[in-house]
Amino acid sequence: MSSMTDIVFLLLIFFMIASTLVTTSALDLVLPKSKAQTVKRKDVTVNISPEQQISVGTVIVGMNELEREIMKQTGGKEEAVVILRADKSVPYEMVVKVMDISYRNKLKMVAATDPS
């Protein structure tokens, strides 16, 4: 019985340590609320911070380099998915510009929301 307890404690410690290593994103964004389901597949994540700073994955880019960086990170994949994580205070015009880039390049666009 004590060996079973040891195994349970080792698993508990393993998962506690492993869960601290998981980070969702480097930017702290307040996403809009939604009751929609999450997407399992993600190829490229575009983040727009409240200060209107744009990053593709971990690379910070300007609006002029955004399309080139998205295409570089998708690598020409068929039906690549772009996850757009824009803070709720970001002007709608910036969100539409990113959506337009995805549309022009025939990429699927998903807007990330806070599921709560």
Cβ-based neighbours of 26, under 8 Å, separated by 6 or more:
47, 55, 58
Residue 25 φ then ψ, to 5° = -165, 155
What pLDDT is attached to residue 61? 92
Determine the structural domain holding residue 96 and report its residue range: 25-111
Reading the block at residue 49, the tokens are 């911070």
Per-residue pLDDT, 37: 59
CATH number at residue 43: 3.30.420.270
In a domain, 40, yes or no: yes
59 within some domain:
yes
In a domain, 10, yes or no: no
The pLDDT of residue 78 is 67
> For residue 31, what pLDDT is reported?
58
Number of domains in the chain: 1
**pTM > 0.75:** no
Q: What is the pLDDT along the chain (116 residues), one digit of tens a residue?
A: 678 888 898 998 888 887 776 655 555 555 566 666 555 555 788 999 889 899 988 888 988 988 888 888 888 776 788 888 888 888 888 888 888 988 888 888 887 777 66
Within a domain: residue 13?
A: no
Q: How high is the pLDDT of residue 36?
A: 61
Determine, yes or no, domain membership for 12.
Answer: no
What is the C-alpha separation between 69 and 33, in angstroms, rounded?
Answer: 28
